[in-house]
Amino acid sequence: MTSFSALGLAEPILRALDEERHVTPTPIQAQAIPQVLAGRDLIGIAQTGTGKTAAFALPILDLLARHPSRPEPKTAKVLILSPTRELSGQILENFEKFGRHLNLSVALAIGGVPMGRQIRALHAGVDVLVATPGRLLDLVDNRALRLDRVSVFVLDEADQMLDMGFVHAIRATIKLLPAKRHSLFFSATMPGAISDLAKSMLRDPVTVAVTPVAKTADKVEQRVMLVEKQNKPALLAELLTSEPIDRALVFARTKHGADKVVRVLNKAGHAAEAIHGNKSQSQRDRVLAAFREGTVRTLVATDIAARGIDVTGVSHVFNFDLPNVPESYVHRIGRTARAGRDGIAISFCDGEERAYLKSIEKLIKIQLPLEDRRANSGAAAAPLPAEAVAEGRDRRPVRSEGPRKSHGGGDRRPRSEGQEGRGPQGRANGSRGEVRASAPGGRGGDVRKAEGRSHEPRTDGRRDDARKGTAGGGRPAAKPAASGGGSGISAVGFMRSAPARGAGAPEAGPRRPR
C-alpha cells in the first residue's frame, strides 16, 4: 500500500493521520492493518521503531468507530497488555493522537500510582484499557474490573514479557477473557517459548514479519570495545566527549549500577540522568521530558525502564553492561536508528562478559568488530578526575555478573529488575528485592536473589505498594495528571509528561481470599 487512505480506514482516523502528517504506512502497518480489519488473529514480528503500535491502534480505532456501543460498567472492550509503564503510556498516546476525532474513552492501569483513581476511572466502563500485568490483576482482584466483555486483546512486546517473568500473569489474564475474541500478538523476536504462548492464545493466526527474527537494525553501526571492568566509567566519559553525539542512551544492568554511572558522569562534567524502577512516575516523566527536549543529553537506563522510550534523535546507544539475555541486545540498540536515521551502538565487554557477547553474536548471526581498549593494549581511556574515580568505585563487595552455573534446580535466572510480574508460585519481598517461593502451609522455600543484589524494592504495580501506601521503594505515589486538551478521548488514569504534584496513597477495595 502506498497511502493510509488505500487501507480503508474510517474518515476521522484518516483526518487525524493527515494532521500528524502521516501519509505512508510502514511495512508492518501496511501488512498488519488489512488483516486486523478483516478480523484475523495476528502474530506481528517487527523490531522496535517500525511502527508496531500504530499497526494495531489504527485498525482497533477503526473497528470501534464503525461499531459504536456503550461499554458496560467495570468492563473494557479492548485490552492491551504491555510490560512497562512507559510503553503503556506511549500506547495510550497513540490511541489519543489517532482517535482525537472519535468519542472514545481510554484508561491506563499501571503500577506506581494510586489504584483508587483507576478504580473510579473504570467504574463506568471504558472502550480501551492499556495495562501492565500486575496492576491489571490487582484491579480484577479488587472487583474493579471484569474481563468477560473484552472483544479485542493485544499482547505487546511478548518476548520482553516472558523475559520479565510475566508468563503466569499473562496466562491468568487469558483465562479471564472470553473464548470468542480477536487476539493480536506482537514481538520483536520469536524464540520457542514465545511461539508456544502464541499458539495457546491465538486461533488460526496470520503471521506478519517485516524483518528476520533477531535481526538488528540495518542502519545501526555496531562496535564492541574490550575494556577492564574498572575502566568502563573512564571510557564512557571519553566517548561522550569524542563521539559526535546528539543524544546518548546508556544501558546498565542494575538500578544501583545506573545510579553509579550517573554520579560518575556528573562529576566528570557530563550532564546525565537515570531512569529505572526505583524512580517515581513524576521523576521518570521529568527525566524523559528533559531527554526529549535535549536539556539532558545522556540518559542512563535499565532494560525494563527503557521499554517505551521512543525519542527521536538518539544518535548513540552504549551498552555499559552487556545484557545477559541476548534478545535484550536487539531491543537496546533498536533505540537508535529510528525513523530511517543512522545510529551507533557501542558495547563495553569485560572479561566476565565474553560469554554474553558470544550469545549475542550467535543470536544476531553477526561477528561484531572488536576494539581492544584494555590498559595493557596501549589504548586505555583517558583518566577521570580524582573525585569521579572515587565515586566510581563500588564500596560494597563485588559480586560477579558472569554467567551462572546450573545447579540442577531448573531455571535459576533471577527475575528482571523492576518487574511487576505476579505468579501463583511466588510472592515478592518488596524490601529486599527477593522472590520467595511459597510452600503449602507456610512461607519460605526457595529464595531467588534479584540481579546484581541491588536490594531495591519493586515498583511496577506490585501488591507491596498497595499494602504500604507507597510507590517506587517507599516514596509517596505520584498522582497522575488529569487529561486535558480537545482530543475527544477521555484518557482517564493517564499521566502526562509534566511532573506530577502531590502524593497519594493507593486505594484498594476489598480483596478476595487467595
Please say if the pLDDT value at position 345 is more than 90. yes
What is the tens place of the pLDDT at every residue in 299-320? Answer: 999 887 676 677 778 999 999 9
Query: Residue 510: in which H helix or E strand, if any?
Result: none
What is the tens place of the pLDDT at every residue in 453-496? Answer: 333 334 344 443 333 344 444 444 444 443 344 444 444 444 33
Q: Per DSSP, what are the bridge partners of residue 423?
A: 426
- Residue 436 — very low, low, confident or very high, per pLDDT cuts 50/70/90? very low
The pLDDT score that the predictor gives to residue 424 is: 37
Distance (Å) of CA 151 to CA 78, 95, 123, 170, 217: 6, 17, 18, 17, 34
What is the tens place of the pLDDT at every residue in 2-43? Answer: 789 899 899 999 999 999 888 889 889 999 999 999 999 999
Q: Per DSSP, what are the bridge partners of residue 191?
A: none
User: In whole angstroms, what is the distance from residue 255 CA to residue 452 CA?
Assistant: 9
What is the tens place of the pLDDT at every residue in 232-255? Answer: 999 999 999 999 999 999 999 888
Kindly indicate whether the domain formed by 4-213+478-492 is annotated with CATH number 3.20.20.80: no
Domains 4-213+478-492 and 220-389 share a fold: yes
- pTM for the predicted model, two decimal places: 0.56
Which of 87, 33, 22 lies closest to 334, judged by CA?
87
Domain residue extents for the chain: 4-213+478-492, 220-389
177 vs 220, higher pLDDT = 177
> What spatial distance separates the first Cα and last Cα of the chain, rounded to whole Å?
51
Question: What class, spelled out in words, does domain 220-389 have in CATH?
Answer: alpha beta
Amino acid occupying residue 481: A
Q: Give the relative orientation of helices 133-141 and 115-122 as an angle to the nearest 10 degrees.
A: 70
Distance (Å) of CA 108 to CA 92, 195, 365, 374, 486: 7, 28, 38, 47, 18
What is the tens place of the pLDDT at every residue in 74-102? Answer: 999 999 999 888 889 889 999 999 999 99
The pLDDT score that the predictor gives to residue 339 is: 61
